[in-house]
Amino acid sequence: MKERVVVGLSGGVDSSVAAYLLKKEGYEVIGLFMRNWDSLVNGEIEGSPNEGSICPQEEDYNDAKKVADHLGIELKRVDFIKEYWDDVFTYFLEELKRGRTPNPDLMCNKYIKFDLFKKEAKKLGAHYIATGHYARIENGKLLRGLDDNKDQTYFLAQVPRENFEDILFPIGHLTKDEVRRIAVRAKIPTATKKDSTGICFIGERNYQKFLHNYLAPNPGDIIDIETNKVVGTHTGLMNYTIGQRRNVGLSGQKEKHYVVGKNVQKNILYVAFGDDSEYLYSDACTIDQVNWISNDRPIKCTAKFRYRSKDVPVCLEYKDDFILVKYKDKCAGVTPGQACVLYDEDECIGSGFIDKVYKNDEQLWYI
């Protein structure tokens, strides 16, 4: 009897190739498509994908069905719309109200893809659950995908360790180019489909227009942090993140400028001018909501403060309900609400969310 694998078939090339490779290896493969967002149910009006065209998620389902038919596998679908709203989207909105920069993809993996989805797959008799993530599991350790440009362990770092049991990552040892070539050779319908970008439930839509469905615009002053002078008007603090350089709202300003802080109580956005402002840099932060994937609790390791950032050597000081993360080399744009993901070389050992940011023992960002 073949072992059954339920694959999260999203309609993209990565999950399509994952399903193809598993079937090629001799598994009994079933595709399961997750529907996490409904624009009408979730009260979306402005910026909705339903405006004049088929919903992108329905397009993805149609693509997943084409892939399943091509591979000769069954495709089922499941709705997690309410659960996604409760556990992911509500968190996203609450963090924005606090002036922070949330990362909903981590919460989606934690609560939906590697919890509810896994339970649904088990109901289908799955021996294993597979996704198209660029990551690896070896000897119970979560390891980076071999393609440095596509490694997705950053987004998996809030998943509880036990939820990686029975998980397969069939493309974690491949590069994106190799995945594309496999898809073309196998004539998979999604072989040339463009990768999705941005926050999952926003996609290609205008970020600010989308947010206005749920958070009212709240304009306020933009202040030069060095001179304390008003230099412009922001459209709402939720529209900006620390380190942001584009679309800040200082029209006609030729000198480089960056978002360096927020004061939520006074509704102020702080900016700094210059090529490389010192106000962007910090040397320590605290993290909470810590999730350990490894049994180790190191004093020294490396950290990523954003998905595309480089690994930074850090020292960890363990407190009662948080960890103080110190980095000898100052880092730019370390932002409250973002994840700090910890690594021991290739192993992703855990993560927490950035709460407070410091430089020379002084708290920054004025949040």
Name the pairing type of β-strands 128-130 and 4-8. parallel
pLDDT at res. 342: 98
Across all residues in the chain, what is the average pLDDT? 92
- pLDDT for 52 beyond 50: no
pLDDT at res. 145: 98
The residue annotated as part of the active site, out of 108, 285, 301, 331, is: 108
The string of pLDDT tens digits covering residues 245-297 is 888 988 777 788 999 999 999 999 999 998 788 999 999 999 999 999 999 99
- Residue 40 — pLDDT band, cuts 50, 70, 90? low
List all residues 6 or more positions away from 49 whose beta carbon is below 8 Å from its beta carbon: 39, 55, 56, 57, 203, 205
Q: In the chain, what are the domains?
A: 4-185 (3.40.50.620), 217-273 (2.30.30.280), 279-363 (2.40.30.10)
pLDDT at res. 276: 80
pLDDT at res. 41: 63
The yes-or-no answer on residue 340 being catalytic is: no
- pLDDT for 50 beyond 70: no
pLDDT at res. 49: 44
- The lowest-confidence range among 1-5, 91-95, 114-118, 153-157 is 1-5
The structure's pTM equals 0.92
d(CA 143, CA 56) in angstroms, rounded, equals 31
Cα-Cα-Cα-Cα torsion 38, 41, 43, 48, nearest 10 degrees, comes to 30
The yes-or-no answer on residue 200 being catalytic is: yes
The string of pLDDT tens digits covering residues 327-353 is 988 899 899 999 999 999 999 999 999
Nearest Cα to Cα of residue 106 among 359, 354, 363? 354
- pLDDT for 233 beyond 80: yes
- pLDDT for 202 beyond 80: no
- Higher local confidence (pLDDT), 286 or 201: 286
Q: What is the mean pLDDT of residues 121-133?
A: 98
Query: Within 10 A of 349 (CB to CB), how many other CB atoms are there?
Result: 22
- Higher local confidence (pLDDT), 225 or 366: 225
d(CA 287, CA 306) in angstroms, rounded, equals 14
